[in-house]
Amino acid sequence: MDAKRTHGVISAGDRLTAAAGAEMLHQGGSAVDAAVAAAFASFICESGVVHLGGSGIAQVYHPDHGGMVYDFFSSMPGLGGPEKLSFLDFQKTTIDFGSTTQDFYLGRGSVAVPGNIAGLCQIAADFGRLSLKQILQPAIRYAREGVNLGPLQVGVCELLRPLYTHTSEMAAIFQRGQRMIQPQDTFLIPYLAETLERLAEEGSEIARTGWLAQAIVHDQAAHGGLLTPTDLQTYTVNKSRPIELRYRDHTVLLPGACSAGGVLTAFSLLLLEEFPVGQWPYSSVMHLRLLYEVMAATGRARPQWDAWHDSLPLDQAIAAFLDEGFVEPYRREVREALSRPYRRPQPEKESRNNTSHLSVIDADGWVVSLTTTAGESAGYVVPGTGYIANNMLGEEDLHPQGFHVRPPGERIPTMMTPTIVLKDGQVRLVLGSGGSIRIRSAILQVLINLLDYDLPLEEAVNQARVHLENGVLQGEFGVDAAALNQLEAMGYPINRWGSRSIYFGGAHSVSRTPDGHLVAAGDSRRGGATEEV
């Protein structure tokens, strides 16, 4: 690839998502235009995992502007509404993941305040070159003509069958007779093209005070939901500067606002900084053992982050959690653990929410790292709109203190961690991942693979990964079997996976190599696709 003739590269969760972004780059748009166009397109061609009625976090960077984090994640609903409803549409469904099952909640009472439309339109307004009408054209075309869902999306739809057949309107979209949609079927969401066309003409106010907002809240009021007109009218896209820290000779930019994942990833990097990771053979016992102990130490520190997050202003909470005086005792624990028998860490809760990520970089220095989610969807479509709502209030991992206990208007914390890495003031890497609590382990390993082991981006993204959950090291197929056996003999609980899996995230990434070339790598676990313009 000739960097001088390359206008930009994009990596995303589906070939049509990536193609939508590339279309903007072809038209002279920036990475910002490409990212927003791709995100809107993903709500059609990645409908197994993301929807228009969801929310997200993005990080935008340019050398002249620095980094900016856009927090458009969901907030708790209920502002201006009754203290208690006579009926709350909040229904449990159980999903079978094979080796385990997990309960989710859907219905109107599972819907949090959405942020996708407000956030994506704000990013485009702040830094885009093209009009919103131009940016939305690929999504409008996909919505009007229909698409063929990829194997990953079809598989997720089958897995989440109870949610995607919960109402007759949802079943009509995701089912063909008695079977779920297949790759050869044309996928269409009725009325969505018209909704996107009105968004292109009228702007994001349609989802704040306009006809779409009215349709959403009317449906909520009629069917036991909590979302109110005040929730939509007062929702804000929060903008802040990223956490900035040094790792080796690089600068890593991570989200702090709303993102527990960003703060926890920063903590893990501070633990890793003093260990000679790249000097140990890749996937060796020492490499894997260090990953285990760093993940375990971060898990033990997390309750303190949660406490500070709830009791201190955000800047003070971040500063306290990443302060050397707080980090060093955990770093000492890692050192001691590597020199003595294994000690069982404090476990983390299991989680499986659906998320999609995309990364873009252009030749003018603009980069975007953007992650969105809708949970698993609330199992219904707002009539006459094609708008599929989120079920962020039905995700147990987002509400460890119980459902519906946070006050209305409060932002819900997330593990989303769109990340940017700089070297000597130039962008080196743009990445993020889907996968809930596996987001940070995926990002951590891609960072190590690229920055410590100097692997090419494609290998850095697609190497087999590990993840620590409930004290057990999950070893994806491809992790060195002999090293896992040795770890197990040392007392480390190991679970060996017989295949690669979406469980381990989807770190779709782009990079500028040291010689200035722009490259992209899609994560094959989650249908990764790339485009070069």
Residues with catalytic function: 355
With CA atoms as reference, report the closest residue to 122 among 191, 77, 69.
Answer: 69
Distance CA 330, CA 265 (A): 14
Q: How far is CA 319 from CA 9, 59, 247, 266, 410, in A?
A: 35, 20, 17, 11, 22
Contacts 24+ apart (CB under 8 A), 256-259: 256/69, 256/314, 256/318, 257/69, 257/71, 257/314, 258/57, 258/71, 258/73, 258/411, 258/412, 258/413, 258/414, 259/57, 259/69, 259/71, 259/413, 259/414, 259/415, 259/416, 259/417
Say how far apart CA 182 and CA 187 lie, in whole Å. Answer: 9
The residue with tokens 């994806």 is 476
Q: What are the φ and ψ backbone dihedral angles of 112, each rounded to 5 degrees? A: -90, 170
* Angle between the N-to-C axes of helices 260-272 and 285-311, in degrees from 0 to 180, rounded to the nearest 10: 140
Map residue 387 onto helix, strand or coil. strand
The whole-angstrom separation of Cα 87 and Cα 6 is 56
Where do we find the tokens 């313009």?
Answer: 533
User: 290 — alpha (psi -120 to 50), left (phi > 0) or beta?
Assistant: alpha
Q: List all residues 6 or more positions away from 436 whose beta carbon is below 8 Å from its beta carbon.
A: 351, 352, 353, 355, 397, 415
Torsion angle of C-alpha atoms 60, 236, 125, 121, degrees rounded to 10: 90
Pairing label, strands 250-254, 367-375:
unpaired
